[in-house]
Structure 1
Amino acid sequence: MSLEEILLGQLGGYILAFARIGAIFVFMPGFGERPVPARFRLFMALAVALALYPATGIEPVTLDAPVAFLGLLALEVTIGLWIGLTARIVMSALQFAGYQIGYVAGLSNALAPTTGQFEGATMVAGALMMAATALIFATDLHHLIIRALLTSYEVFPVGRIMPGDLAAQTVAAVGASFYVGLALSVPFYVMGIVLNVGLGLANRMMPTLPVFFVAGPVLIASGLIVLLAAAPTMLDHHLQELAAWLETFRF
């Protein structure tokens, strides 16, 4: 085998590695966030693919059969997109919890004079997502993400795809994300029920009480206090769920 054939084979293998890793970086939490410019994500994917390629176990691929190579390339991109999108689905549990917190705490009141109907809930969800993204790097979870890139080649060998299993795991990811989001919101549901029952009883005993104007500040202040107390546990539990999925790629 000539040197040219060896180099071309290694180039084909590297292209396959970049196809999967680059597709993962499009949606992977932490690396695929919108504030990160697409150019930086591209360079990062190129560098990570080059560093991990020798450990992926990908055999040199000749480019003599372009149709077969394009088929392999499409499979690798599909697997990479599935991994990135599923991780994003898991991450969206925190965003869902943030919206629920905004609704319960009265931050998305349609009658608020200076904010839109959903602006307050969006701010809470965005703040939680920003904190979770920062914690991914502060807690070295990004190391686990990089290790998961190598683990993916053990779970999904090159050239093999299991559409039924991927679809089943996507449905499981949506269900798990919804469950985690609800679990993270439970303290705020309890707070909302207690406060609304108390305000209702106060209104019954004092019919002239302007409940709407009293309830708004009370709900917002209580929601912020509960969020301050519960946020560390919420973020820790959510990141543990993401880490557990990255280790096995299944629920």
Structure 2
Amino acid sequence: MTARPAPPGAASPPGRFITFEGGEGAGKSTQLGRLARTLRETAGRHVVTTREPGGTERAEAIRAALLSGVAKPYGPFAEALLFAAARIDHLDRLIRPALRNGEIVLCDRFADSTRAYQGAAGGVEAGTLLALERVAVGSTRPDLTLILDLPPEAGLARARARAAAGEAPDRFEAEALAFHTRLREGFLAIAAAEPERCAVIDGAQSPEAVEAAIRAAVSARLPGLLLEAPASAREGRDDAA
């Protein structure tokens, strides 16, 4: 989605950057959509929803290559480089402009996924990935990261259900259970190392219970964000996804 330009002469409030993380089948996309709807319809906020890899034309092209498995033979570090390339374009063309305009950016995956997938599960040394992250991300860090935690068996069962409905498993969904177990451990380690930024949400609950837990986390970590905005702010809100 293209960032909405700020009204001429208006001082934009600071943008907020919220990322959704977790293993396969954790429900990130569903819950991101629910939070976006709440922020727009109840709180009257201007919201940009996006995803990684992807979000821009160039990054979506890299996404197609990564999820098809084309890069897998080159190893997890090569995949990490491609994720970083997509992330740079995504930040430059979408995320940073939106934040400068005072938008709320909700992103399905971000740099933590590289740490977990290519690092904890793929074996790339943590220091190498952090150096790459400093180059690709710089100072644009999430204000809040919601980690939807789910036993890998349950998440893979959800992914298989999608496949049964006609959606083929992607390059990462097709990995063995041991990979997904390491992945979960990686996300939980990130949350333990950065508790001020990360909130772990029990993804095994009903979608409604997960949504309520996310709202509680957003209210606690970013006070005022879910409060109803003045009518003047609601009139021009951006309802596009």
Greater fraction of residues in strand: 2
**Shared fold (TM-score, shorter chain, > 0.5):** no
Question: TM-score, structure 2 length as denominator?
Answer: 0.25
Using CA pairs under 8 Å that are at least 6 residues apart, name the structure with larger relative contact order, 1 or 2.
Answer: 2
What TM-score results when the alignment is normalised by the length of structure 1? 0.24
More helix by share: 1
Give 1 or 2 for the bigger CA radius of gyration: 1
